[in-house]
Amino acid sequence: MTNPNPLAASASAHLAVTQSEAAPDVIDFGLGHPGPDLLPLGLLAHAAATRLQGDDSSLLQYGHEQGDGYFRQALAAFLTRHYAAPVDMDELFVAGGASQALDLICTLYTQPGDVVFVEEPTYFLALRIFADHRLRTVPIATDGDGLIPAALADALAQHRPSLLYTIPSFQNPSGVTLSLPRRQQLVALAQEHNFLIVADEVYHLLSYGAAPPPPLATYAATGHVLALGSFSKILAPGLRLGWVQAAPQHIQRLVNSGLLDSGGGLNPFTSGIVRVALEEGWQDAHLTHVRQVYGRRANALTAALRAQLGELVSFTAPDGGYFHWLTLPEQYDGEALFRQAAAYKVGFRPGARFSATGQLQHCLRLSFAHYDEAQLAEGVGRLAALLAKNG
């Protein structure tokens, strides 16, 4: 059948060659985004139809700088339910996703050459944003409980960071969650040494087993935490909608940026539609659904890895988020494996991309978010064949 929309055809042809799309016959564990079956077209069609009827055209106007008040009210109520801690709409700033929020924070809070502390390993595309701002990233060691406070204290003896960037819950790429005592120690160190924590909490609501400790957003009142949230992982990345939770002085600083002076609040149209999904409880229901699906996928990937690669790889089964982080024997090189992977119709992200210093070559990040259980098991079979060839 010919595609009735030539623009759609050329758009998808373009997407096929970008980093974030895989060829149809490849099982690409590198894709860290929801599978097409989890993108809620019907939900958003209802929300859009509801919001666009009537005569309130305000979502088509330049937006309120902090973000539409009704949307922030609905978001604060949603977060209060799910964080088990009160969230006030006045502490929320609406952004076009966590990435845009991080970029804006770098613009406002850093100068080229400043030091940013990052976890080792960390989210590889945050490293790209820091590079755009000409920042120097200094890695801080982590273990099974997240960032190691003693390693942070050592680094603080040598550097005065502008920011510390952390992914405290179900980390990308390691899946690790920062323990409660360490959350408290981290905030205490930020207060003592007067630096800002940027807590990227985009996976916090995606728990499939034990709930993580309260988000770092709950420490926003200290003035040392800017917490990022997003609808990308709990609703749809194409919405480009997220938020910052922070103390009033930080919200003011974001609101007063030149970007907002010129363009108004970020994403008023989409937030007007997502507001309906929040108010009607559709976002809550969708969150319950994706948690169940992702939980099953996480278990399926764990089982397939144990069955097919148990001797070779070590990993901790994640309790939430999107990722398994595999450690291979030291002689394996993730980038070399990556170059051969296409021939095996499988994909993943090599570990060194998540290191501020190019370490972790023998690690791989696998995401279970994009594929169903059978595809995940098939993909592990292909990975096993690739590793056997390189063993």
Ligand X SMILES: Cc1ncc(COP(=O)(O)O)c(C=O)c1O
Q: Does 167 bind ligand X (CB under 6 A)?
A: yes
Phi, psi of 271 (to 5 degrees): -65, -30
Which position among 230, 270, 308, 361 is part of the footprint of ligand X (CB under 6 A)? 230
Candidates 7-15, 53-61, 96-104, 380-388: pick the segment binding ligand X (CB under 6 A).
Answer: 96-104
Q: How far is the CB of 329 from ligand X (least distance, A)?
A: 27
Which 233-292 residues touch ligand X, going by CB under 6 A?
A: 237, 242
Interaction between residue 123 and ligand X (CB under 6 A): yes
> Helices (H), strands (E): how many in the chain?
13, 13
- Residue facing ligand X at closest CB distance: 97
Residue 289, both tokens: 């659904």
Work out whether 218 is an interface residue with ligand X (CB under 6 A).
Answer: no
Closer of 97 and 149 to ligand X (Cβ): 97
Q: Which is nearer to ligand X, 32 or 308 (CB)?
A: 32
Angle CA(19)–CA(25)–CA(30) in degrees, nearest 5?
Answer: 35
- Identity of the amino acid at 209: G
Cα distances from 357 to residues 136, 272, 301, 336, in angstroms, run 11, 42, 29, 18
| Number of residues forming the site for ligand X (CB under 6 A) | 13
DSSP letter for 93, please: E
Residue 41 has a CB neighbour count (10 Å cut-off) of 9
200 binds ligand X (CB under 6 A): yes
Residues between 61 and 90 with contacts to ligand X, criterion CB under 6 A: none
Q: Which stretch binds ligand X (CB under 6 A): 8-16, 92-100, 174-182, 302-310?
A: 92-100
The distance of closest approach from Cβ of residue 40 to ligand X in the complex, given in angstroms and rounded to an integer, is 16
Least distance CB 30 / ligand X (angstroms): 11
| SS3 per residue for 278-334 | HHCCHHHHHHHHHHHHHHHHHHHHHHHHHHHHCCCCECCCCCECCEEEEECCCCCCH
> Two tokens at 20?
């974030």
CB of 323 to ligand X, least distance (A): 8
Q: Which of 97, 146, 320, 334 binds ligand X (CB under 6 A)?
A: 97
Residue whose entry in the numeric block shows the structure tokens 């108004």: 264
- For residue 271, the 8-state DSSP code is H
Region near ligand X per CB under 6 A, out of 229-237, 288-296, 300-308, 324-332:
229-237
Which range touches ligand X (CB under 6 A), out of 81-89, 94-102, 253-261, 335-343?
A: 94-102
Stretch of 95-103, 149-157, 266-274, 283-291 lying at the interface with ligand X (CB under 6 A): 95-103
Nearer to ligand X, 301 or 386 (CB): 301
- Closer to ligand X at the Cβ: 67 or 97? 97
Selected from 172, 207, 271, 283, the binder of ligand X by CB under 6 A is: 172
Task: Give the C-alpha separation, 320 to 230, whole Å.
Answer: 16
Select the residue interacting with ligand X from 98, 187, 363, 387 (CB under 6 A). Answer: 98
Nearest residue to 310 (alpha-carbon basis) of 357, 380, 251, 241 = 380
Nearer to ligand X, 213 or 309 (CB): 213
For residues 101 and 98, give the distance between their C-alpha atoms in angstroms, rounded to a whole number: 5
Identity of the residue, 200 or 387, whose beta carbon is nearer to ligand X in the bound complex: 200
Q: Does 232 bind ligand X (CB under 6 A)?
A: yes
**Least distance (Å) from ligand X to the CB of residue 320?**
13
Order of strands, sheet of 349-350, starting from the edge strand that comes earlier in the sequence: 323-327, 363-367, 349-350
- Least distance in angstroms from the C-beta of 367 to ligand X: 9
**Which amino acid makes up residue 44?**
L
The overall longest dimension of the chain from CA atoms, in Å, is 66
Q: Is 99 in the site for ligand X (CB under 6 A)?
A: yes
The two tokens of residue 36 are 């097409």
Residue 162 near residue 198 (C-beta atoms within 8 A)? no
Contact 203, 173 (CB under 8 A): no
Neighbours of 290 (CB within 10 A): 19
Q: Is 202 one of the binding residues for ligand X (CB under 6 A)?
A: yes
User: Which residues make up the interface to ligand X (CB under 6 A)?
Assistant: 32, 97-99, 123, 167, 172, 200, 202, 230, 232, 237, 242
